[in-house]
Structures are given as structure tokens and as C-alpha cells.
Chains A and B, each alone.
Chain A
Amino acid sequence: MTAASTEGAAADTQVAAAPDPDEAQRAIEYCYEQGWSDGLPLVPVSKPLLDAFLATTDKDPEEIIGALEQVGRDVNVRTAAINAAMAGCKPGYFPVVLAAFEALLRDRAARGGGFQSTSGPSPLIVVNGPIRKELGFNTAGGAFGPGFRPNATIPRAIGLIVRNAFGVHPHVLEQATQGLPGRWQVCIAENEEESPWEPLAENGGVTGGVSAVTATLTRTMEFVDNRHTPNHEDVLRDFQDTISRIGSQIFPLSSVALVLCPEHAQMFASAGMSKQDVQNWLLERCGRTGAELSSMGKAEVARKTFRGEYEGDEAFHKFLAGPTSIPVVVAGAKNAAISMVVRIFGEWSGTSVPIVEKK
């Protein structure tokens, strides 16, 4: 036998063992034709794949895990599992999808009109605990993606549930004016290893290092790049400036999530600040005067409520109501002092949901 013919035989064996790409493409196109896709290819789901997802939870496949009352649709565990599989999740991710969906539906804005809104908000999903390592979440650089399967596919699963199970389709029941880049793609795993503080899940009531998910809706995010000063109060003022931007202010009060890089978080901690100290510092200072707001046509915002009176040019209007208006997360690499101000649509429920895997 010549060397060439040996190579040829090996190549033939490989071809025979590989799945049929033509069949795979037909299955993918079939999914597109049904109107199930968010625009990207879907994993066609078979009964054995569905069964592998259902085997990861003790929940009954028929259990209803969420409803969108205004459109008269609900979703059970089985349907959620089909959508999670289609999104490219591995079966082991399914308990995280279930917890993320529960966490998100605790948001009043998500249960209300959030998914239909002209604002076109995206879920912001934060994962804490040992499950981050077990499932291979990215907990380091490039926290907002892409490149990591659980971070990328879990939020997509939520988007597909909203599309397919709730029937909220673009241009019909979904009326986003522009939406945002990264809608249904924002799932970060907190960098607990380099955070000087307690994990977000603990602020949401899940203690003891239990794996948990926190979720809310976001309209967009804006970076604060400040690697220019050793003075932590200067950096806080930089955050204050971004948080106090008037363009994003549509009601008297608003909410942001502060996704701090390890370097900023450690700088604040070294100055003796707890997470709550950082929150309180910003709560007191983020806002604008009546004159500033009304000069940009937002006198409405400069009222205690929309039916209140304009409180005058001099009055200072705080934008953030309390700690749940400014959850703090630590994420990303410790390689530059770059953090993100994430604009929350509505308000975070203030709670986290433990991830429950099959016993």
C-alpha cells in the first residue's frame, strides 16, 4: 500500500464519520422558513435533544414558567427547553436559562410592555457562583462578549422564548424604534475572583456562594475610560458625569447598573469604600438642576412627578432613588481602567434567583 492511498482511506473514513452538512443545512433552512429565527441560524431540535434538556431539571415539562398576560401567551418548561436548544445552549445550561427567565420576569417592566417597547430593551443577565466555572462562562476579559458559548447562547435563548413562545415579533407586537446592539446577547459572569466585594447575587438575597442569576432590562451601555488619575473621587465624578447624562433621562427617576472593571473596583476598595459606599456617593450626586433639564426640553423630568410643579431652575434633581437603582457588578479583565454604565429600562427587582440543578 502506498502512502498516498493510506491517506486517501483515512480521508474517506473521516467523511463517513462526519454529519451530513447538506441535511444539516436543510434542517436549518426549515427553521428559518417557519419564522422561528432571530436572523441567525438555529439548532434544529429533535426529541432526543429536548429530552437531554429536560433531564437537567426536576421541573415538570408542563409547568408554566412565565406568561405575558397582554398577549395571552404563556410558556412551559418544554417550550423553553426547545428554544434554549435552538439558541445553541448545551443541555447543562438549561437550569441557568430557567433561573434567568424567572429573574427577568420579576421585573415589572419585563412583565409589562418591555418586550413590545419602542425602547427595544435587552435583558442584562449576571451569573454568580461556582456554575460560572462548571459551565465555562467567561469571567475575565471581554465580559460583554463574544467568544464564549454559555454567555452567548443563554441570553439568545431568552430572546427566542419571547419571540416564539410569547409571539412578540419585530414590526408587529415588537415596536423597537432602533433597539440596541447586543439585544439578547448580554450575559456576564461576575469576576468574583478579582472583585474586592460581595457578589451581586448576595445583594439580591442569595447568600452562601450559591450559584444564582440576576436579570433586568437595559436600553444601552456607555463606557467610562478613566486610567488617568490615582484619585478615586475623580473617577467617581467621571461616573457621576456619565450617569447624569440628560439624553437617557425620560422620567424623574432612573436606574443604572455599574459594571466596574476590577481595577476601578479595587481602587475604590483600597480607598476604604464598600460597594454601598460607592452607591451612596453616586446616589447623592447623580442628577441635574432644573435649569439644565429644562434647557434641553426636559422640564417634565424636573418635576417631582409628571403631575407635579416645576421646582425651579435652582433645584437639584437626583436621578437615582436607592441602592436597587444602582446595582454594582465587577466584570472584565484587570488590564485597564475601563468600566461600563448600563442604562436600566425600568428598575431592577432587587432580587436574584438561585440556579437549581437536578438532584
Chain B
Amino acid sequence: MPNAILDPTGTVTTSAAKPAAPRAPRPQSLRGKRVGLLINTKQNARPFLEEVGRLLQEKYDVTLTQRTKVNFAVPEPEDVIKEMIAENDVIVTGVGDCGSCSAAAAADGVVFEAAGTPVAAIITDSFIPTADAMAALRGAPGYKYATTAHPVAVLTEDKVKERAAQVIDDVVGLLTENPGKAEA
């Protein structure tokens, strides 16, 4: 009997074998809610998210808080997650426009959701495969997020505002819809 060829991937837990990360329940409306902006420090992420926040304030009279990601490339540490959950009803994070930060935005989303806080992650459309792969790794295959065209980093101030306005309906939809019900 010949020797088997050994597998170099180690002990892999497939996404299917992982417990599915639950998606947070959504509020009916954002009216009067506390919205946390988690800014990932990539160029133009701050003005982009600030404009999203301003639009939400204008339309739904939300209260805003802001935080900068500790490290754009990896998911937030547990204590930051806990604090943000305590301070906010919903969270908007982004802008994922690089390999690691897009994946990290999806990963943060899944973690906040599992803890009961709805998230709208914003990612540029170049990084859909990596965001999807990360969400699946984290037990949330098919995790929904908002996309905007790549690139964002080189946009002028006015263009950034335009982009924020374009994505706002998707953000509201992600934070208020109930996909569990919709899919049923």
C-alpha cells in the first residue's frame, strides 16, 4: 500500500462547519438612533463617513459618535467592540479600499452583528471577493454590505460627498431591513 500524500493546509475549519454568526435584529427606523462611525483611517474614509453621518442626522435626527480603527488591517479588539456596542444602536464602518482593510471591515461587521448591533460596512467594489471570503471565514457567508466604485482615496471633497449621498439608501437599507424575514 503506497504512502498517502499529506495535506499541507493543517486543521481547517470550513465555514460550513462553523456555527453561523447570527445577524443582529434591525430597528424599524433609524429615527433618533445612536449611530457609531468606525473610520478605518484610509484616505478619504473620514470625510466619506462624516458625510454619511451628516445625511443620517439630517434625515433621521440620529446622534453621532466617531471612532478611528486601532489597526485598519485587522478586526477591532474586544474592548473597543464592547464600548461601541454600549454607545451605539447601529454602526457604519469603512471605507474598505485595500486588501486587508476590506476584509477587516467585513470581519468587524460580522462580530458586531453577532453581538446584536447592526452594521453597514462600506467597501469599494474592487474588494468584493476578499470581503465575501472573510465574511464566510467568520461564519457569515453571504454577509451583506454596501459598495461604492473604486477608487475613493483620490476623490475630491465634492466627489466624496456625492459618493456618500449615492450609498446612503443602501446604508439605511442595511441598518433597518430584516433580511431574515425578507429571505423567508
Q: Hey, which bits of chain A sit against chain B, CB under 8 A?
A: 27, 30-31, 34, 36, 44-48, 50, 69-76, 79, 82-83, 86, 112-114, 116-118, 160, 164-165, 167, 171-176, 300, 306
Contacts and interface: CB of A to CB of B under 8 A. Distances in A.
Contacts of B6: 45-47, 50, 82
B8 A36 contact: yes
B10 A75 contact: yes
16 contacts: A31-B5, A46-B5, A70-B73, A70-B100, A72-B13, A73-B12, A75-B10, A112-B71, A113-B101, A113-B103, A117-B98, A118-B98, A171-B129, A173-B99, A173-B130, A174-B99
A225 to B, nearest CB: 34
A167 to B, nearest CB: 7
A46 B1 CA distance: 12
Interface of B: 3-10, 12-13, 41, 43, 71-75, 98-104, 107, 127, 129-130, 133-134, 137-138
A50 B5 CA distance: 10
A165 B133 contact: no
Contact of A79 (B4, B9, B103): B9
Contact of B98 (A71, A76, A113): A113
Given A118-B98, A172-B129, A113 B73 contact: yes
A112 B9 contact: no
A117 B9 contact: no
A173 B4 contact: no
State the majority secondary structure of interface residues on A: mixed
A69 B78 CA distance: 13
Given A113-B100, A173-B103, A173-B134, A76 B74 contact: no
A34 B6 CA distance: 11
Residue picked from B129, B133, B137, most chain A C-beta under 10 Å:
B133
Given A70-B104, A112-B73, 18 more contacts: A34-B7, A46-B3, A46-B6, A47-B4, A50-B6, A69-B74, A72-B13, A72-B138, A73-B12, A76-B10, A113-B98, A116-B100, A117-B100, A118-B99, A167-B9, A172-B130, A173-B99, A173-B130
A174 B133 CA distance: 10
Contacts of A72: 13, 137-138
Contacts of A50: 6
A75 to B, nearest CB: 6
B103 A70 contact: yes
Contacts of B130: 116, 172-173, 175
A300 B10 CA distance: 43
Nearest to A30: B5
A175 B99 contact: yes
Contacts of B3: 46-48
A46 B4 contact: yes
Contacts of B12: 73, 167
A340 B25 CA distance: 56
